Homo-oligomer: A and B are copies of this chain.
Amino acid sequence: MTRFAFTVEFDGRPFMGWQRQSHGPSVQQALEDAIHAITGERAVIHAAGRTDAGVHGLAMRAHADIDKPIAPFRLMEAMNARLRPNPVAILACEVVPDDWHARFSCVRRAYVYRIANRRAPLTFEDGLCWRVIQPLDADAMQEAAQLLVGRHDFTTFRSAHCQAESPLKSLDRLDVERTGDRIAIHAEARSFLHHQVRSMVGCLALVGMGRWSVDDMRAARDAKDRAALGLNAPPDGLYFVRAAY
């Protein structure tokens, strides 16, 4: 048995999410089916994060154990051939120690959330960013974002379906950067609660629109109550960017 680590890029639009589902296609299933076609084995793929339906990956990390002797480069090439026409690509593949785990060994995860701050409908990027028509004040968003950095009870920004034991998390980075009509929100932490990035982004957008003050963001944080959430941003703009080990 050899443990292979993969770096995976995927367009989340056609998928029900990363995790295998009975009711529709998933990235996990696409990868596991590709491995089965190549090796005849029913390997299970483990990922650094299990993204929701419509969320994308630029460099998701994952691993699987495979018995068949195969070189990492050949496995990558064969998987990329078998993954067609799914919008999933293996960017890198290497052998890792048996105790390396894509999820449990991961010490830091990075996401980016992309907003198109414009009036016109999206053409190239429909489903690939969140279009917000109201002009957004990125400076106010950046100021409000800093209230969320650090160790907090993120209950307000946590989905009702979140399975984490505790709502206490340390957020290492939340930066809002505008380039033309694009806003990128960079989030980094050891781990995130379910919907945490989308919930933080939704509230930052309210600040950007002027519907919330920076103080409203502080009050939402301190409420520790899901009912205090202003807005949950759609999955379209969310990308898993990087996992560190």
Interface window among A123-131, A155-163, A202-210: A123-131
Which of B80, B84, B121, B128 has a CB less than 8 Å from the CB of A124?
A: B128
* CB–CB B11/A89 < 8 A: no
Number of copies: 2
* CB–CB B123/A80 < 8 A: no
**Chain B residue nearest to A57 in the complex (CB):** B123
**Contacting residues, chain B, for A121 (C-beta < 8 A):** 80, 83-84, 89
User: What distance in Å separates the Cβ of A111 from its nearest Cβ neighbour in chain B?
Assistant: 16
List which A108-135 residues lie within 8 A (CB) of chain B. 118, 120-124, 126, 128
CB of A25 within 8 A of chain B?
no
CB of A188 within 8 A of chain B?
no
**Contacting residues, chain B, for A118 (C-beta < 8 A):** 91
User: What distance in Å separates the Cβ of A108 from its nearest Cβ neighbour in chain B?
Assistant: 21
Which of B11, B83, B124 has a CB less than 8 Å from the CB of A87?
A: B124
CB of A101 within 8 A of chain B?
no
**Contacting residues, chain B, for A87 (C-beta < 8 A):** 123-124, 126
Report Cα–Cα, A91/B119, bound state, in Å. 8
Report Cα–Cα, A118/B121, bound state, in Å. 30
Report Cα–Cα, A118/B10, bound state, in Å. 15
**Contacting residues, chain B, for A126 (C-beta < 8 A):** 87
* CB–CB B90/A120 < 8 A: yes
Report Cα–Cα, A11/B123, bound state, in Å. 6
Interface flags for A42-72 (1: CB within 8 Å of B; 0: not) read 0000000000000010000000000000000
CB of A32 within 8 A of chain B?
no
Given contacts A87-B126, A89-B120, 18 further A-B contacts (CB under 8 A): A9-B120, A9-B123, A9-B124, A10-B123, A11-B123, A11-B124, A56-B124, A80-B121, A83-B121, A84-B121, A87-B123, A87-B124, A88-B123, A89-B121, A89-B122, A90-B120, A91-B120, A124-B128
10 examples of A-B residue contacts, CB within 8 angstroms? A9-B123, A9-B124, A10-B123, A11-B123, A56-B124, A83-B121, A87-B126, A89-B120, A89-B123, A90-B120
A residues bordering B, Cβ < 8 Å? 9-11, 56, 80, 83-84, 87-91, 118, 120-124, 126, 128
Closest 7 pairs (CB-CB, A-B): A87-B123, A89-B120, A11-B123, A89-B121, A11-B124, A91-B120, A89-B123
